[in-house]
């Protein structure tokens, strides 16, 4: 009985991938590879160097962006949805920082102006930090409401990092 449930879960996951367009399947593959690489990079070389490298690897895109804001927002949300899908199936654990860096970079690569944001809060006597992505001032695909749940931290990349 337990193996039937497992088979049903695998079948449901495969069905959700089959429903994606080929473009989004490619994005799923990229995001699935990117998050473990980001995790390793953050541990080995630091956030600052990882961020700097990502900025250099995401030059101004030659993608033709949708002209109307509604279509652009829908595509941004679709990219975020696919990145969230990939994050649930990576071979290594990932955090909001891994997911946010991946989403921010993949959006930049597609020509969408997005911003990496950070916040902090006191929670149950401790300190918690959170990372998220915004596009046109709107939080993209985050379970939390960062502006309500976290105090936004002021952060700007250093000029030589840009």
Quick: pLDDT tens for 60-107: 555 556 667 778 888 999 999 999 999 988 888 889 999 999 999 999
The pTM (predicted TM-score) of the whole model is: 0.82
User: CA–CA distance from 32 to each of 10, 36, 67, 94, 95 (Å)?
Assistant: 17, 7, 29, 11, 13
10-15: which pairs have CB atoms within 8 A and are 24 or more residues apart? 13/89
> What's the burial of 158, exposed, middle or buried (CB within 10 Å: 0-12/13-18/19+)?
exposed
Across the range 24-49, mean pLDDT stands at 93
What is the pLDDT at residue 162? 46
* Rounded Cα–Cα distance for residues 100 and 42 (Å): 13
């Amino acid at each position: 009985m337990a193996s039937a449930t497992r088979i049903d879960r695998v079948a449901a996951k495969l069905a959700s991938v089959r429903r994606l367009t080929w473009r989004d399947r490619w994005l799923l593959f990229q995001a699935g590879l990117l998050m473990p690489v980001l995790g390793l990079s953050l541990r080995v070389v630091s956030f600052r160097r990882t961020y700097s490298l990502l900025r250099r690897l995401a030059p101004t895109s030659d993608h033709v962006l949708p002209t109307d804001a509604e279509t652009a927002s829908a595509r941004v949300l679709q990219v975020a949805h696919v990145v969230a899908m990939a994050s649930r199936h990576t071979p290594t654990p990932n955090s909001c920082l891994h997911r946010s860096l991946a989403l921010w970079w993949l959006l930049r690569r597609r020509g969408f102006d997005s911003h990496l944001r950070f916040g902090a809060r006191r929670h149950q006597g401790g300190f918690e930090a959170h990372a998220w992505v915004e596009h046109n001032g709107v939080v993209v695909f985050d379970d939390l409401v960062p502006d309500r749940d976290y105090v936004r931290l002021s952060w700007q990349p250093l000029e030589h990092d840009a």
